[in-house]
Structure formats: C-alpha cells, structure tokens
Amino acid sequence: MIWAYLFIANVAMLAHFGFLAFLIGGGFWAWSRPWLLVPHLVTAGWGFGIETWHWTCPLTELEQWARRSAGQPGLEPTGFIDTYIKGTMYPAELNPQVLALVAAVVLASWVGLGVRLGLRRRRRDLGATAAAPPSPARDTLGATTNRPGGGSHVNVIEGTNQRNVAVVTGASSGIGEASARALAEQGWTVVCAARRTDRVEAVADEIGGVAVTLDVTDQGSVDGLVARLDELDRPVDLLVHVAGGAFGLDPVADAKVEDWQKMLELNVVGSLRVVQAMLPLLRRAPAAQIIMLTSTAADVNYEGGGGYCAAKHGEAALTRTLRLELSGEPIRVCEIAPGMVATPEFNLVRFDGDSDKAAATYEGVDRPLDEHDVARGVVWAATAPAHLNVDLMVLRPVAQAAQHKVFRGHLYDDDVR
C-alpha cells in the first residue's frame, strides 16, 4: 500500500503547484475566458489567507497524511510552501517581498482584465449602435450619414450616429467613383483618393466626402494619404482599393516592356504600397475590412492579356496572402474579381485612346456589367456582418459564361431589369 500513499502524496503536491500557478496566472487566463475570474478570486483569497494567517490547507493535510502513512516524514511544520519552495526557489527571509510581488502580479492581471472587458463592452455597444434604426445626420465633414437598420458592420462612432471613414482609391471615375458614391449613400464618410485632383475633388464634393490626390506609384503620395487621414482624427475601418489598369493587348512576342512595367507597378507594387500604409490605421478599428478589386484575369489567362493577367495574378496573390497573414486579427480581406465591365475609361486607356478598339470589346454583348453593378458588390461585402468574410466574389454578365466564352447577341427584352 506504500505506493498508493505515495501516489496520493505526489498528486497532492502537483495539485499544490497547480494551485500556485493558477493563483499567479489565473487573472491573465481570464482575459480570454472571463468566467475564470470567480475561481481565481477564490484561489487568490485562499492562497493569501494560508500564507498570511496560516489557515489550514486541505491539500497540505492530505499530503501530510499520505506521506506519514507511507512511513515518510511529513511536510515542514508550516506546510507546503516551506517544504517545497522556501530555501529552494528563494530564501525564507524573502517571503514578505515575494508575497508583495505575487500580490502585484495578481492585481496587475485584474486591472488588465478590467481594461479588456471594458474594451469588449465598448465594441459590443458600437455593434448595437451600428444596428440601430436609420437616423440621418450631417457629420463634421459634411457627409449625410444614414445608417441602414440591417447593417451589422461595426463602423459607427460611439456616442454619435456617424459612420467611420472608408477610403476608396481610384475614386475619380469608373468602379472607384461608383463605389465611393454607393458607400456614401450607406452613410460612410468617404475619402476619395485618385491621381486626377480636379476629378476626385468633384466627386468628393458631390457626396460630402474628402478628396486626396493619390498616385499609388509614388510612395510620397501614399504617405500623404495617410497623413491626411491622421488629420481627420476619425476611425478608418474600410479600404476599397480600386486603383489599377491595363495597357495594351499585344501578344507576348510583341509586348512592350514598358507597358508590362507600368501594369506591374500600378497593380501590384501600388497595391502593396497602399496596403502597407493603411494597415496601421485599420488595426486601430474594432473591426476593419480591406476590399481589393482584382479581375477574373487574375485566375484565367487570355491571348493578348499576358501583362495584365500577370499583374492581376500578382495582386490576387498579394490579397490572398494578406488574408492568411492577418488571421487572428479582426480584419476581413475580400477580393472582388469583375469580368466584362463596360466602364467609360478602362479600355480607352488600354488602347491609348482608340475609341473604336475600346467599343469593339463590348460589341454585340447584351448588357455587360457597368461600374454600378460592381459597386453593388462592394457595398454588399462592406455591409455584411463583421464576422462574415467574402473571400472571393466573381462578377460577370450573363453573356460572359467564362473568360473565353462570350455570347454576342440578343438576350433580354427592354422591360427586363
């Protein structure tokens, strides 16, 4: 039976060490599991009572009985602490200092837990405000804010009915402009960022937003965007990165190196600059989102599209890698990949202003997508609940069954919407 008594004694000893570990660290564990606070308070009270007023500890009594039953000497007269810790981990005369240190650590854990629970409560209150009934108001930057009752995305400033700030790049025309307008209608204060100052200022003025001149191929310009956002002193919880473009439709054998360089610099390196600059701002928000506009060309190649496909492959790789790297943070990373979209300028730029070539792309296609169709997708992803991530949203017109299969002919009567 001796082995049984020793087994009980050793279990009691290990339980004692676990008791001490929980006494010191339980408050920190409660940061992620608040229900642990109550047993930790009991443990801390009991532990300090045992050491300060020499209360009788049941574990000490159990180990004493088991060791003596096994024919071994019992614990020191003052119990577990004197036997196993004093003189081994620290001299007995340091007991008051050690007690004070343990007390300080325990109190620090409680203070940290209180702060964390306070922040959690604040985030919950923000979410409740975001889901409140519509309440139109004029925010401090001049934007009308209407919060949709169905939206549960956490983007309303506490104590106000103001939504946070959304940054839209490429906002002077096309998908970027349409997205900026659509988000403003949903109540965001939109920072419209684009290269053409006059155009982006006009858009921002019309929607009550803020205009910033931005060239994503210039690091100084990107830094200027962040500086302007810091001046607003408002939470930024949404980045919609649209800025990009295509140049030329030449086969690989005849492609201009400078066209490929421009596409890679604009679509890939420019995206990297913007994401790197914006991440510190987005991380300050209770919940944030990055929406990257790539293309179906990111996954399917086509003749003449080598440079553009390579650039969009790169941008998609950046986006999908970023989602993996931000795992564990409350930041959603969404990729929206449009197919055939007949925007006013995309193909004009691609074909160096040749309107005939630009129009031929959509010739005979019954209702290709336009910029407003894509903006609907942006708003849908942006207003989804904070826990719901749209990894990839592919948008194509019905006439485009695949990248390489486009129906050119009549599909819809005029009254079909």
* CA-closest candidate to residue 20, choices 50, 54, 64: 50
Cβ neighbours of residue 13 closer than 8 Å, sequence gap 6 or more = 63, 80, 84
285-296 burial, b at 16+ Cβ within 10 Å, e below that, comes to bbbbbbbbbbbb
Cβ neighbours of residue 258 closer than 8 Å, sequence gap 6 or more = none
Cβ neighbours of residue 290 closer than 8 Å, sequence gap 6 or more = 239, 241, 275, 278, 282, 319, 322, 331, 332, 333, 334
Please state, in angstroms and as integers, the Cα–Cα distance from residue 209 to each residue in 6, 41, 134, 177, 274, following that order: 75, 51, 20, 12, 19
Between strands 405-406 and 400-402, the pairing is antiparallel
Catalytic entry in 302, 308, 362, 412: 308
Cβ neighbours of residue 110 closer than 8 Å, sequence gap 6 or more = 27
Number of helices (H) and strands (E), helices first, in the chain? 14, 11
Residues 243, 216 contacting (CB under 8 angstroms): yes
How far apart CA 330 and CA 209 sit, in angstroms, is: 26
Note if 90 is an active site residue.
no
Q: Known catalytic residues?
A: 308
